[in-house]
Structure 1
Amino acid sequence: MVFRSDKVVISPWAQRELNIPNDVTLPEFIFRSLREKLSGMGDQPFVTDVVTGKSIPFSKLEEMSRSLAASLWQRGLRRGGLLFFTTYEAALVYVVQIACWMCGAAVRGCFPFETREEMERQMRESQPNIVMCDPETAPSILPILPSLDLPQVKILSLGGHVDGAESVEDLLENDNAPPLPDDIGISPKEDIASIFNTSGSTGFPKGCAHTHYNYIALLCNAKGLMGRGTLFTQMPNFAAGTMMCIVHCVWMGYSYLSLSKFSFDTFIGYLQKYKPGSVFLYGFVAKWFARIPEANSQNLDFIERLTMGGSYLDVETTKLLSQNFPQAKIVQLYGISEVLYVAGTECGEGLENISESPEKAMPVSGMKAVEIDGDYCLTAGKVLPMVEAKVIDVFNGSELGPLEKGELLVRNPYIIKGYTTPEPKDPYKCATDSDGWFHTGDYVCFDQAGNLYSIDRTAHVFKYFNHQVAPLEIEAVLSAHPSVLNSCVVPVPNTEATNLATAFVILKPGDQHQAVTADELATFVKERMVTHKQLHGGVKLVSQLPIRRCVMVDREALMKQA
Structure 2
Amino acid sequence: MAAAGIDPRSGYSAETRTFHSTREPGELPPESLPVTATAYAFSLLSSPLPDRPALVDAATGIAVSYPSFLAAVRSLARGLWCSLGLRPGDVALVVAPSRLDVPVLGLALMSIGAVVSPANPVSTPEEYAHQVRLSKPVVAFAVGEVAAKLPPDLRCVVMGSDEYRRMADGGGGGGGGEVVMPAAVAVKQSDTAAVLYSSGTTGRVKAVAITHRNLIALIALHAENREKVAREAVEAGEEPPPAAVTLVPIPLFHVFGFMMVLRSVSMGETAVLMERFDFLAALRAIERYRVTLLPAAPPLLVAMVKSEEARRRDLSSLLVIGIGGAPLGREVAEQFAAVFPDVEIVQGYGLTESSGAVAATVGPEESKAYGSVGKLASHLQAKIVDPSTGEELGPGQRGELWIFITGYVGDDEATAATVDSEGWLKTGDLCYFNEDGFLYIVDRLKELIKYKGYQVPPAELEHILHSHPEIADAAVIPYPDEEAGELPMAFIVRQPGSNITEAQVMDYVAKHVAPYKKVRRVAFVTAIPKSPAGKILRRELVQQAMSMGASKL
TM-score category (smaller protein)? 0.7 to 0.9
1:534 aligned residue = 518
Question: By how many angstroms is 1:515 displaced?
Answer: 1.9
Give the direction of change, closer, same or farther, for the CA distance of 1:422–1:341 in structure 2 (3 Å limit): closer
Question: By how many angstroms is 1:428 displaced?
Answer: 8.4
1:10 aligned residue = 20
Give the direction of change, closer, same or farther, for the CA distance of 1:275–1:81 in structure 2 (3 Å limit): same
Determine if the alignment matches structure 1 residue 544 to structure 2 residue 530.
Answer: no
Q: Is the 8 A contact 2:265 2:271 kept in 1?
A: no
SS in structure 1 of the partner of residue 396 of structure 2: coil
Question: By how many angstroms is 1:534 displaced?
Answer: 0.8
Query: 1: CA distance between counterparts of 2:415 and 2:112?
Result: 20
Query: 1: CA distance between counterparts of 2:485 and 2:50?
Result: 60
Which segments of 5 or more consecutive residues in structure 1 lack a partner in the other structure?
A: 352-365, 370-377
1:420 to 385, 394, 409: 409
Query: 2: CA distance between counterparts of 1:217 and 1:439?
Result: 22
Query: 2: CA distance between counterparts of 1:449 and 1:427?
Result: 34
2:132 to 123, 137, 160: 123
1:517 aligned residue = 501
Query: 1: CA distance between counterparts of 2:492 and 2:414?
Result: 43
Question: By how many angstroms is 1:40 displaced?
Answer: 5.5
Give the direction of change, closer, same or farther, for the CA distance of 1:129–1:265 in structure 2 (3 Å limit): same
Determine if the alignment matches structure 1 residue 82 to structure 2 residue 66.
Answer: no
1:172 aligned residue = 168
Question: By how many angstroms is 1:430 displaced?
Answer: 9.8
Question: By how many angstroms is 1:144 displaced?
Answer: 3.3
1:50 aligned residue = 58
Q: Is the 8 A contact 2:80 2:171 kept in 1?
A: no
Q: Is the 8 A contact 2:383 2:401 kept in 1?
A: yes
2:494 aligned residue = 507
Superposed CA deviations along residues 72-128 of structure 1, whole A, max 9, x for unmatched, are 112121111111122114211111011111221111111122222111211232222
SS in structure 1 of the partner of residue 473 of structure 2: strand
Q: 1:547 corresponds to which letter in structure 2?
A: K
1:359 aligned residue = none
Q: Is the 8 A contact 1:200 1:206 kept in 2?
A: yes
Q: 2:122 corresponds to which letter in structure 1?
A: F
Query: 2: CA distance between counterparts of 1:143 and 1:467?
Result: 45
Identity %: 27
Which segments of 5 or more consecutive residues in structure 2 lack a partner in the other structure?
A: 1-8, 175-179, 230-242, 546-553
Determine if the alignment matches structure 1 residue 61 to structure 2 residue 69.
Answer: yes
SS in structure 1 of the partner of residue 373 of structure 2: coil
Superposed CA deviations along residues 213-262 of structure 1, whole A, max 9, x for unmatched, are 11112222343437951111211011112222222222221111122311
Query: 2: CA distance between counterparts of 1:27 and 1:144?
Result: 28
2:110 aligned residue = 101
Q: 2:159 corresponds to which letter in structure 1?
A: S
Question: By how many angstroms is 1:522 displaced?
Answer: 0.6
Q: Is the 8 A contact 1:86 1:133 kept in 2?
A: yes
2:142 to 103, 109, 133: 133
Give the direction of change, closer, same or farther, for the CA distance of 1:180–1:386 in structure 2 (3 Å limit): same
2:443 aligned residue = 456
Q: 1:172 corresponds to which letter in structure 2?
A: A
1:145 aligned residue = 151
Determine if the alignment matches structure 1 residue 397 to structure 2 residue 390.
Answer: yes
1:336 aligned residue = 351
Query: 2: CA distance between counterparts of 1:60 and 1:317?
Result: 41
Give the direction of change, closer, same or farther, for the CA distance of 1:384–1:229 in structure 2 (3 Å limit): same
1:269 aligned residue = 284
Residues 248-267 of structure 1 mapped to structure 2, 5 A cutoff: 248-267=263-282
1:374 aligned residue = none
Question: By how many angstroms is 1:211 displaced?
Answer: 0.9
Residues 451-490 of structure 1 mapped to structure 2, 5 A cutoff: 451-490=438-477
Determine if the alignment matches structure 1 residue 29 to structure 2 residue 44.
Answer: no
TM-score by length of 1: 0.85
Residues 289-300 of structure 1 mapped to structure 2, 5 A cutoff: 289-296=304-311, 299-300=314-315
Query: 2: CA distance between counterparts of 1:49 and 1:176?
Result: 29
- Normalized per residue, the structure richer in helix is 2
Name the Cα RMSD after superposition.
2.4
2:5 aligned residue = none
Determine if the alignment matches structure 1 residue 202 to structure 2 residue 202.
Answer: yes
Question: By how many angstroms is 1:18 displaced?
Answer: 3.4
1:244 to 259, 277, 281: 259
1:346 to 343, 362, 385: 362
Q: Is the 8 A contact 1:83 1:105 kept in 2?
A: yes
Q: Is the 8 A contact 2:94 2:142 kept in 1?
A: yes
SS in structure 1 of the partner of residue 44 of structure 2: helix
Aligned residue pairs: how many?
511
Q: Is the 8 A contact 2:124 2:149 kept in 1?
A: no
SS in structure 2 of the partner of residue 145 of structure 1: coil
TM-score by length of 2: 0.86
Deviates most, 2-11 or 301-310: 2-11
1:375 aligned residue = none
